[in-house]
Each structure stands twice: as C-alpha cells, then as structure tokens.
RNA sequence: GCUGCCGUAGGCGAAUUGGUUAAGCCACCGCUCUUUCACAGCGGAGAUUGCGGGUUCGAACCCCGUCGGCAGUACCA
C-alpha cells in the first residue's frame, strides 16, 4: 500500500448531492489507482445544520455506487476518530497553539456587534466590510485590547472566537493540480474564524488539522473551495506544516441543465429528474427528493456518467467499469470549466448498461418490481421477456411501463391506429385467424409466424393490414418486440382471450 | 462591489502542448434493417474556438484588452 491517502469529507446536512458523489468517486479512483487509502470523514461541526439520518444516507449512497471505504467511522483506522464532533478537544488544543505562536488571536465581538458593524459600514457606502488586518484594531480582540483586559475577559468566561491573523501584505500562492498556480493577495483575505463560540472549529481549522493528523496527501474537492484555499495554506504555514501540505485539486462545478448556476436540489424537482443517488425523505414533501436508484438507474451507469462529467480519458472510450475507471483516471485530465448536468446523456449510459446486462441480473432486478404488483412468473418466461425488452428500455421502470402487457391485460388501445387499420368487414377473417392461432398448442415464435403468414397469403392480406391488428390487439400499442415472439410467449389461451376482447373493443372504437 | 476561476457546434468534450481539411459521444435530420418501436450500421446538418487586437512563416493553444458565465465574500460546509 502506497502512502497516498485521500479523504471524502461530507457534512451530514441532508442528502448527498450528485456533485458530492462525484467528488467521492474521484477521490476513490485516485486512491485505488495508486494503491492508497480512501477515508470517509464526517464533518459535523455545525450542530445547527445537523440532520439525523444524513450520515447513514451518505454511507448507503457510497456503498450503492460501489465505493468502498478503507478508514472511517464504521471501519475505524489508526487516525480516528473520523467524526469531527468527536475530535473537539483536538481542535481547541491546536487553536491554542496558534494563539501561543501569535498566528491567531481571541476575538470577543458578538455576532450582533458584527452585524451592526456591517450595517454601519454599508450605510457609509462600504459594502465589503471585512474582519481583517485593516479593521481588527477597531474590533474587540486580543490584538486591540491590552493583555490585562484580555485576561479579565477570559477569566470572566466571556464568549470568544479564535481568529486567524492573516498577514498584512503578502502573496499567497496555491498550486492546484487542475488549475496550475493560483495567487491571492493576503490583504484581500479576512481573518477567518477558526474556533467558534461553542468551542467547535470551523471547516477551515478542522479541515487543516484533520488532514494533517490523518496524513492526507491529496485534497480533491469542489471548486467552491478554491477561494478559501489561500487561508488553508496560511494555516499550514501557521502550524509549521507547510512541507507536508497535501496537494490540492479543485473540481469544476456541476451546472444546471440550463447551464446557468450550479446544480441544486431544486433543479431536480423542477425538471422531474434525480440529482441525488438515492431518494431522500425529508420532513416535508418539498424537502423530499427522488434518487437515481429509485428512478431506475443502474449504479454502474450513474458512476460512469459522473466520471465523465468533468473528466475525460483522452480516448474515445465512453463505457467504463469501475475497474477500468481506476486504471484510466488521472487528475491531469480533469477539465477546468463547469460541466453541465445532461440527463439525456445519463439515460443513454443506463440504456447501454441494461443492454449489456445478463438476463439473470435483469431478472433479479425485475422480480421484486413484479412482486410488488402481486405478480410472479417463472424464470423461463422472464428470461424471454428481458431478452425481448432489454434493448428498448432506458430505466428499469420501463420494463413495466412499456412491457406491462406481458403480465396483465391491455389497459388502453392505440385508438388512432385502430381507426385507420380496423376493417369491421374483415372481422370474420380475423376470427378465423384467432381460431387458427388457438389451435396451435404451445407454439414457438416460428410457428406463430408461419400461421399468420399463410393466413395472409390465403386471404390476400398484406403485413400492414394484419400485423397492426394483432399487435394492438395483444399489446395495445404499436411499439414493442416482434409480435410473433410476444404471442408465442403469452401462449395460445391468453392470445385468444385478448384477441376476442380486442375485436369487440375495436368495433366500439370504430363506432364511437 | 471586491477577489478568484472559467469560456471549443444545442449539450459533454478531444486536438501528439504553436504545425495541414478543429476528433468522438448525446441530441437533431435522412437512409438501411424492421410494414411497429427500439437496437445496430451508414450518411447529413451544425464551430469565422466569446469578442478585439498583438507576437509568429503559422495561434483553440502565447501576450494585452474586452465581454460573458460561475464561485467565494457567515461564529455553513
């Protein structure tokens, strides 16, 4: 095992968004490719936003995608605990070190005071008030107050935060694996809060301390973190850890299908498409979302789709198994521009996977769907069924939606085509055909075809006059597999029953 | 506003890193197959590489400017 160690560090504030899944995937791919370690760390330092069930959801989602975790809250490991709320003491201790070495300071300003200050600045025309080198002397902190005053405040248990003391004028360089060198002027950076009043760290502190302690070598995360990376570099420096600082790779955003803005959960409900791997049951209808799994996706298809969203192999290969992705993946091939979430493309991948799936695998998936409707069928029947249908479905639900007639009576006829094709004067002929078909005992597809064809020949009827009648009569629709195959599978009794009912219905349609 | 990132057909995106006619896939159109739909195969349309300058024999690629999109700008992550 190499010393490469990467982490996926979600915050349990709800369902894991598809962008998060992709971040996890890229981390996982890098770890596996280099024989490294994939770590799951739960970043639950904001108690106000904690959502019960979110942590389990994250784990289930990763498992569904096939991303196995090496170290984490369940698996354990030598660098635990892996839940940040369990590491509270560590952060306090480290924040203290920064106070001691002068790179951080106590701040006693309350949120209300901060808000008030922002408000007055705004009225004065300054819309970008920052707690920074320029303003900190006018705030209440251990930089502006005398050490005696600070000691008194601390002794009186005055609530405080610990802030990073950002250097006044310095250029902070960040080397990003996907974007190259990025520079920030330290005077544009604010004095980020490191430790909150409640004793919990902010993301910035926790992330640096944990990544260092957990010996993380590569930080792969979303682009929204790029601006604060300068702070992170400053923190590594403040701790004296600069020489072991991990490499950074900031992933491009996943954009809305419309192209404007980053994909949000609202887009999913608005467009009726999943933007989460698994469904999420929120407190209300509005906070509940469907998932790729519930939408009828194969996890391999979703993973394949996501892998290509912001990364490309540089070849023309499009279909990748997880194993192939592990081999082909490279950070250098990650794109810089935001990738639009193209759900049509996602469906195409799923269709490819279904077509590639074995009959057995498909049957395993279909059986429970049928059972839910109280239908059981033997494997021989189901095998033929999936063979007939697998190349014309996109999501698993389509097996039922466009193949329900294999299991139950036709619910609606294609009336438009019936009006065009049904000739009541030919009914006697079709009754005759019905009898002929019925006489066939457990026929195969070829036998049905022969019977129908000789019937057509005998009566001078073409395919166009006969097949649509049979097709709509048995399945209700013009779409579907070979009608001879469908009839053979359904059996003579069933076909006879359906045709009898259909002819009556056709006359009604014609007359209505 | 400020800071940063990004900009190749409708979408995803390639281009041996400055070297002929700017790949491929999805979507779209047509043909073949099938008297259905889908799959598959073939073909088509669609790009003055956001725009304007510059450097160069030569620019999608380098430089400057400009416009646009996005992100960040919390005691959230």
Does the CA dihedral A312-A313-A315-A320 come out positive or negative?
Answer: negative
Rounded-to-integer distance, Cα A315 and Cα A322, Å: 17
Chain B nucleotides close to protein (CB under 7 A) are: 1-8, 11-15, 17, 23-27, 35-40, 69-77
Residue A243 to residue A316: CA distance in whole angstroms? 39
Q: Which nucleotide is nearest to A316 (CA to C1')?
A: B24
A409-511 CATH: 1.10.10.350
How many Cβ atoms sit within 10 Å of the Cβ of residue A113? 12
Q: How many CA atoms lie within 13 A of A434 on its CB side?
A: 22
* Best CA proximity match to A28, nearest among A60, A5, A56: A5
Q: Mapping DSSP to helix (H, G, I), strand (E, B) and coil, where does residue A205 land?
A: helix
Can you give the pLDDT at residue A512?
Answer: 77
A112 touches strand B (CB under 7 A): no
| Confidence at residue A241, expressed as pLDDT on a 0 to 100 scale | 96
**Residue tagged 């294609």 (tokens):** A414
Distance between CA A464 and CA A475 in Å, rounded? 17
DSSP string, A415-453: HHHHHHH--GGGHHHHHHHHHHHHHS-S--HHHHHHHHH
Here the tokens at position A493 are 């009794």
CATH 1.10.10.350 domain extents, chain A? 409-511
Q: Is the CB of A134 under 7 A from strand B?
A: no
C-alpha neighbours within 13 Å on the C-beta side of residue A201: 24
What count of residues does chain A have? Answer: 512
DSSP one-letter string for A333-376: GB-SS-EE--HHHHHHHHHHHHHHS-HHHHHHHHHHHHHHTT--
Distance, in Å, from the CA atom of A122 to the CA atom of A139, rounded to the nearest integer, reads: 17
User: In 3-state terms, what secondary structure has residue A125?
Assistant: coil
Tokens of A109: 């300003």
Return the pLDDT at A1. Answer: 56
What is this model's ipTM? 0.92
In a structure prediction context, what are the per-residue pLDDT tens digits for chain A, which is 512 residues long? 579 999 999 999 999 999 999 999 999 999 999 999 999 999 999 999 999 999 999 999 999 999 999 999 999 999 989 999 999 999 999 999 999 999 999 999 999 999 999 888 888 888 778 999 989 999 999 999 999 999 999 999 999 999 999 998 888 988 899 988 888 999 889 999 999 999 999 999 999 999 999 999 999 999 999 999 999 999 999 999 999 999 999 999 999 888 778 888 888 888 889 999 999 998 888 889 999 999 999 999 999 999 999 899 988 889 999 999 999 999 989 999 888 898 999 999 999 999 999 999 999 999 999 999 999 999 999 999 999 999 999 999 999 999 999 999 999 999 999 999 999 999 999 999 999 999 988 789 999 999 999 999 999 999 999 999 999 999 999 999 999 999 999 999 999 999 999 999 999 998 87
Identify the residues numbered 379 to 438 in chain A whose C-beta atom is closer than 7 Å to any atom of strand B.
391-392
Coil, strand, or helix at residue A183? strand
The residues, ordered by sequence, that sit 6+ positions from A356 with a Cβ below 8 Å of its Cβ are: A319
Please tell me whether residue A38 adopts helix, strand or coil conformation: strand
Q: What is the pLDDT of residue A286?
A: 83
Beta bridge partners of A39: A7, A71
pLDDT for A38? 98
Per CATH, the architecture of A86-251 is what? Alpha-Beta Complex (3.90)
Nucleotide B27, nearest residue via CA and C1': A344
| A510 is annotated as an active-site residue | no
Closest by CA position to A109, among listed A140, A63, A69: A140
- The closest of A352, A470, A476 to A403, measured between CA atoms, is A476
Between helices A88-100 and A229-239, what is the axis angle to 10°?
A: 70
Residues 350-379 of A with CB under 7 A from strand B: 351-352, 355
Q: How far is the CA of A146 from the CAs of A150, A153, A167, A259, in angstroms?
A: 6, 11, 21, 53
- B39 closest protein residue (CA to C1'): A391
All CATH 3.90.800.10 domain ranges of chain A, comma separated, are: 86-251
Residues whose CB falls within 8 Å of the CB of residue A233, separated by 6 or more in sequence, listed in order? A172, A173, A174, A242, A245
69-98 of chain A touching strand B, CB 7 A cut-off: none
Q: Closest nucleotide to residue A49 (Cα to C1')?
A: B76
A165, A192, A196, A265: which one is catalytic?
A: A265
Q: What is the token pair recorded at A386? A: 């999936």
């Amino acid at each position: 095992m190499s010393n490469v160690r990467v982490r996926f560090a979600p915050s349990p504030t709800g369902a894991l968004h598809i962008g998060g899944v992709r971040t996890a995937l890229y981390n996982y791919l890098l770890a596996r490719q280099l024989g490294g370690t994939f770590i799951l760390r739960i970043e639950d330092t904001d108690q106000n936003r904690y959502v019960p069930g979110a942590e389990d959801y994250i784990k289930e989602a990763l498992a569904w995608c096939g991303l196995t975790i090496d170290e984490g809250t369940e698996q354990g490991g030598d660098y635990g605990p892996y839940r940040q709320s369990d590491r509270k003491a560590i952060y306090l201790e480290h924040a203290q070190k920064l106070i001691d070495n002068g790179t951080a300071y106590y701040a006693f300003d309350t949120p209300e005071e901060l808000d008030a200050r922002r408000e007055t600045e705004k009225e004065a025309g300054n819309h970008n008030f920052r707690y920074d080198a320029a303003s900190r002397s006018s705030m209440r902190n251990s930089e502006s107050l005398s050490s005696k005053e600070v000691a008194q405040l601390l002794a009186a248990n005055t609530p405080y935060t610990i802030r990073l003391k950002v250097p006044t004028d310095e250029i902070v360089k960040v080397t990003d694996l996907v974007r190259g060198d990025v520079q920030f002027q330290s005077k544009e950076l604010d004095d980020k809060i490191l430790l909150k009043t409640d004793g919990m760290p902010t993301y910035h502190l926790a992330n640096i301390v944990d990544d260092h302690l957990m010996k993380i070598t590569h930080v792969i995360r979303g682009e929204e973190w790029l601006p604060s990376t300068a702070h992170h570099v400053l923190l590594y420096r403040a701790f004296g850890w600069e020489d072991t600082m991990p490499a950074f790779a900031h992933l491009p955003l996943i954009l809305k299908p419309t192209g404007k803005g980053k994909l949000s959960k609202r887009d999913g409900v608005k467009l009726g498409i999943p933007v989460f791997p698994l469904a999420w049951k929120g407190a209300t209808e509005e906070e509940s979302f469907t998932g790729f799994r519930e939408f009828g996706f194969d996890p391999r298809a979703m993973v394949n789709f996501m892998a290509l969203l912001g990364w490309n192999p540089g070849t023309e290969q499009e279909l990748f198994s997880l194993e192939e992705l592990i081999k082909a993946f490279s950070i250098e091939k990650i794109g810089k521009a935001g990738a639009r979430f193209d759900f049509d493309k996602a469906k195409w991948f799923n269709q490819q996977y279904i077509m590639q799936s074995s009959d057995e695998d498909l049957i395993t998936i279909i059986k429970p769907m049928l059972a839910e409707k109280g239908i059981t069928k033997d494997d021989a029947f189901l095998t033929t069924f999936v063979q007939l249908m697998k190349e014309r479905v996109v999501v698993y639900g389509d097996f039922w939606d466009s193949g329900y007639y294999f299991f139950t009576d036709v619910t609606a006829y294609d009336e438009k085509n019936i009006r065009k094709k049904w000739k009541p004067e030919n009914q006697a002929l079709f009754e005759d055909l019905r009898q002929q078909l019925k006489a066939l005992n457990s026929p195969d597809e070829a036998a049905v075809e022969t019977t129908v064809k000789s019937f057509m020949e005998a009566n001078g009827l073409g395919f166009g006059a006969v097949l649509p009648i049979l097709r709509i009569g048995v399945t209700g629709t013009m779409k579907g597999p070979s009608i001879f195959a469908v009839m053979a599978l359904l059996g003579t009794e069933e076909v006879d029953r359906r045709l009898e009912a259909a002819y009556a219905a056709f006359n009604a349609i014609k007359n209505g």
